[in-house]
């Protein structure tokens, strides 16, 4: 558990050096980046709102990462999930139906899984590297979304903006309080965290997945097929990302536009690692990562700094985390001379 | 005929950044290291070069700045992957994310004005030959430099002792270490070289190919370069052919959009990514050829036992 804490601390140190180098008072900027955003109820609501998709996706991805299945295209699966869910929300015959929202959750999961099934099939049956395929599919998903909102799904009453019509009230999660944006979709994340814990820590299948990641030969000897790990790993990530996309479109967004995610799919990869690929850690990692997103927005608005700082911090955090692992794994100790 | 020449030269130009990046990664992977961060190194290279041009530095210095930016970024990966023995997938991903952040941060004040692109040179006499001249002898110097780098790398890998050592390390670092070669140091050099080449590729994008600043201007070219190395089954000539194939794909879809072909422009834009997947699937079928040329120690951390 030490490595993530050390990495976070070092990231803060580098961050303050960076702020100082840019000519900002480091302490005041750190305060503006990491503390000020949480100083209000609205800030707390935004914090959880952004942490929710990150944690949800990271839980799904971690199932695959444990088995050495490298799905790095969650961003694309999120987009396709959002498209599928929004499609149901827009075109379901009865826009007031109470089953509309559950249907959309299902559609989001199916959309994400369908997008993840492509690399799963190609890896399991055609021996094709899933890293590159999931990434290429992310670019394609972005283009698909762009085509839909510029073309067939564009809101005719939308003044030519590239966006769909707004979803009906029944097709959206109700906020807990209309003053803030946090909504019931966080419960999906809570359930996902529990399921993920159940799967990885309490199920035989989850155990076999871990074995096939840590010791592929042993797993094969025990009769566990690699292709099952590939399918389960990718579909878990796809389903989680798809539902996260659904929750974005049926929550804070309310409609599709060309850009629906600030990079949740990529950031979730880092969250999964910070969280040590286990459920409890991922929750903490997601909260931290969400704060990085909030802080980036806050210093952009208040100090005129670039929101690109968020991605820089994400990268640095992951660098330090990986490096910290080394010092924990290979613990340094003095060797007596002439030993 | 003019259209043919335009497509031909466009293909060569579009392939140039891919050639730089993929050849650099080829050398890295031949040493047994997998650096997934090409996209990030390219973006940093692109930002550094563009920055240098805006600052009024001469073009060669700007391109050098791009290359050095890529190399500096690769060093971050090197320290993690080679000294700290981290998972190379994760370290490469971190570099990709970090690089896109750094380049966007540097680029926040670049504005949207185009710069004067790298000049093309007309080789005397040769460039005046009809058809042949415009097809082969009127490119900017970087296009020729990419071909030179291809020749140098092919020669180095397969005709020099240094290349043999590098490939040995990629196959079996234990053996190379036992013979007495400094595995980690050579891998560092390979990673730095890969960063240099990715930086060049990025610099080419921002000062020659599309001489204006757009955030995330590489648009997946770094990842496509990674795919090209697999497609090429780790052989330089096939990297070159693959880059031209993808360059041609890019130009054809741009021509298609310009001609107003009655399909959505997004579909045409998706073609290079689709093609990458298709090509990867096809190449993955030939397990024997992959196994033959695949550097056996790829992405496996190595720590010399002292």
Q: How far apart are CA A220 and CA A231, in angstroms?
A: 16
Residues of chain B with C-beta less than 8 angstroms from the C-beta of A150: 266
Going residue by residue through chain A, which has 339 residues, state the pLDDT in tens, using 9 for 90 and above. 678 888 888 988 998 898 888 888 888 888 888 888 898 999 999 999 999 999 999 999 999 999 989 999 999 999 999 999 999 999 999 989 999 999 999 999 999 999 999 999 999 999 898 988 999 999 999 999 999 999 899 998 888 889 999 999 999 998 988 889 999 999 999 999 999 999 988 898 888 888 888 888 888 888 888 888 999 999 999 999 999 999 999 999 999 999 999 889 999 998 998 888 989 999 999 999 999 899 888 888 888 788 788 888 888 988 888 888 777 777 666 677 664
Going residue by residue through chain B, which has 306 residues, state the pLDDT in tens, using 9 for 90 and above. 788 888 999 999 999 999 999 999 999 999 999 999 999 999 999 999 999 999 989 999 999 999 999 999 999 999 999 999 988 988 998 899 999 999 999 988 887 778 888 888 888 888 888 888 888 888 889 999 999 999 999 999 999 999 999 999 999 999 999 999 999 999 999 999 999 999 999 999 999 998 889 888 999 999 999 999 998 999 999 999 999 999 998 888 888 877 777 788 889 889 889 998 998 999 888 888 888 888 888 988 888 876
Distance of CA B302 to the CA centre of its chain: 25
pLDDT at A331: 66
Torsion angles phi and psi, residue A95, rounded to 5:
-70, -5
pLDDT at A183: 92
Residues of chain A with C-beta less than 8 angstroms from the C-beta of B281: 122, 126, 128
Interface touch B281/A137, C-beta < 8 Å: no
pLDDT at B182: 95
Look up tokens 């025990």; give the residue: A222
Interface touch B280/A151, C-beta < 8 Å: no
Look up tokens 């794909």; give the residue: B249
User: Domains plus CATH for chain A?
Assistant: 2-12+46-327 (1.10.3470)
Interface touch B273/A151, C-beta < 8 Å: no
Residue B267 CB burial class (10 angstroms; 0-12, 13-18, ≥19): middle
Distance of CA B135 to the CA centre of its chain: 23
Cα–Cα distances in angstroms (integers) from residue B264 to residues A110, A146, B248, B260, B269, in the given order: 25, 10, 19, 9, 9
Q: Does residue A79 contact residue A134 with C-beta atoms inside 8 Å?
A: no
Say what the ipTM of the complex is: 0.89
Interface touch B264/A140, C-beta < 8 Å: no
- Which residue of B lies nearest to A263 if distances are taken between CA atoms? B97
Query: Could you tell me how many residues make up chain A?
Result: 339
The CATH number of B2-293, from 3.40.50, 3.30.230, 1.10.10, 1.10.3470, is 1.10.3470
Q: How far apart are CA A238 and CA A109, in angstroms?
A: 7
Look up tokens 């989001």; give the residue: A108
Residue A57: CB atoms within 10 Å = 37
Q: Does residue A255 contact residue A249 with C-beta atoms inside 8 Å?
A: yes
Q: How far apart are CA B91 and CA B40, in angstroms?
A: 12
pLDDT at A31: 87
Q: Reduce the DSSP state of residue B34 to 3 states and report it.
A: coil
Interface touch B280/A326, C-beta < 8 Å: no
Q: How far apart are CA A7 and CA A219, in angstroms?
A: 33
Residues 251..280 of B with a Cβ closer than 8 Å to A: which?
A: 264, 266-267, 269-270, 273-274, 276-277, 280
- Which residue of B lies nearest to A133 if distances are taken between CA atoms? B277
Q: How far apart are CA B285 and CA B59, in angstroms?
A: 44
Look up tokens 């089953």; give the residue: A99
pLDDT at B286: 83
The shortest CB-CB distance from A315 to any of B89, B98, B269 is to B98
Beta pairing partners, A175: A183
Interface touch A326/B85, C-beta < 8 Å: yes
Cα angle A325, A326, A331 (rounded to 5 degrees) comes to 105
Residue A339 C-alpha, separation from nearest chain B C-alpha, in angstroms: 14
pLDDT at A222: 83
pLDDT at A1: 62
* Cα torsion A265, A271, A277, A282: sign: negative
Cα–Cα distances in angstroms (integers) from residue B243 to residues B87, B142, B221, in the given order: 28, 15, 11
Torsion angles phi and psi, residue A175, rounded to 5:
-65, 155
Interface touch A129/B273, C-beta < 8 Å: no
Domain-wise residue ranges, chain B: 2-293
């Amino acid at each position: 558990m030490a490595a993530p804490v050390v990495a976070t601390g070092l990231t803060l140190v580098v961050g303050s050096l960076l702020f100082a180098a840019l000519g900002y008072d480091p302490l005041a900027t750190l305060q503006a980046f990491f503390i000020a955003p949480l100083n209000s109820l609205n800030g707390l609501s935004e914090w959880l709102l952004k942490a929710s998709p990150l944690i949800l996706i990271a839980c799904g991805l971690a199932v695959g990462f444990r088995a050495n299945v490298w799905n790095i295209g969650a961003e694309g699966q999120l987009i396709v999930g959002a498209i599928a869910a929004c499609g149901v929300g827009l075109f379901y015959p009865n826009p007031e139906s109470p089953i509309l929202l559950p249907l959309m959750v299902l559609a989001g999961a199916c959309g994400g899984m369908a997008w993840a099934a492509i690399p799963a099939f190609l890896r399991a049956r055609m021996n094709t590297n899933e890293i590159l395929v999931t990434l290429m599919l992310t670019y394609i998903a972005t283009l698909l979304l762009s085509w839909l909102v510029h073309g067939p799904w564009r809101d005719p009453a939308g003044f030519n903006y590239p966006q769909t019509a707004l979803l009906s009230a029944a097709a959206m999660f109700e906020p807990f309080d209309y003053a803030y944006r946090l909504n019931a979709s966080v419960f999906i994340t809570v359930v996902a965290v529990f399921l993920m814990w159940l799967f990885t820590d309490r199920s035989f299948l989850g155990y076999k997945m871990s074995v096939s990641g840590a010791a592929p030969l042993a797993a094969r000897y025990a009769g566990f097929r690699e292709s099952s790990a590939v399918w389960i790993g990718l579909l878990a990530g796809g389903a989680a990302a798809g539902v996260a996309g659904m929750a974005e479109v049926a929550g804070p967004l309310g409609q599709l536009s060309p850009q629906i995610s600030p990079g949740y799919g990529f950031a979730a990869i880092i969250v999964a690692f910070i969280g040590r690929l286990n459920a409890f850690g991922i929750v903490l990692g997601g909260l931290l990562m969400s704060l990085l997103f909030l802080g980036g927005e806050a210093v952009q608005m208040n100090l005129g700094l670039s929101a690109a700082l968020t991605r820089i911090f994400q990268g640095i955090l992951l660098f330090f985390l990986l490096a910290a692992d080394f010092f924990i794994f290979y613990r340094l100790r003095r060797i007596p001379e002439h030993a | 005929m003019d259209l043919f020449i335009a497509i031909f030269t466009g293909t060569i130009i579009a392939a140039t950044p891919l050639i730089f990046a993929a050849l650099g990664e080829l050398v890295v992977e031949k040493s047994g290291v997998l650096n997934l961060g090409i996209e990030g190194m390219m973006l940093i290279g692109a930002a550094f070069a563009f920055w240098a041009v805006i600052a009024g530095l001469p073009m060669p210095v700007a391109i050098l700045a791009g290359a050095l930016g890529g190399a500096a970024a690769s060093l971050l990966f090197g320290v993690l992957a080679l000294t700290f023995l981290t998972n190379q997938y994760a370290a490469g991903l971190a570099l990709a994310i970090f690089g896109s952040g750094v380049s966007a941060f540097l680029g926040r004040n670049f504005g949207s004005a185009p710069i004067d692109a790298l000049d093309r040179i007309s080789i005397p006499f040769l460039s005046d030959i009809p058809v042949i001249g415009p097809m082969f002898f009127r490119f900017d110097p970087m296009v020729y430099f990419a071909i030179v780098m291809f020749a140098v790398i092919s020669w180095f890998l397969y005709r020099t002792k240094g290349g043999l050592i590098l490939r040995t390390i990629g196959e079996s670092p234990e053996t190379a270490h036992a013979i007495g070669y400094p595995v980690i140091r050579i891998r560092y050099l390979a990673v730095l070289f890969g960063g240099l080449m990715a930086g060049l590729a990025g610099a080419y994008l921002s000062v020659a190919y599309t001489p204006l600043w757009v955030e995330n201007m590489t648009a997946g070219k770094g990842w496509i370069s990674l795919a090209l190395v697999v497609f090429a089954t780790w052989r330089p000539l096939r990297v070159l052919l693959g880059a031209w194939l993808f360059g041609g794909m890019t130009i054809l879809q741009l021509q298609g959009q310009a001609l107003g072909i009655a399909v959505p422009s997004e579909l045409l834009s998706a073609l290079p990514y689709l093609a990458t997947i298709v090509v990867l699937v096809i190449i993955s079928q030939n397990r024997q050829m992959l196994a033959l040329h695949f550097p056996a120690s790829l992405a496996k951390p190595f720590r010399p036992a002292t």
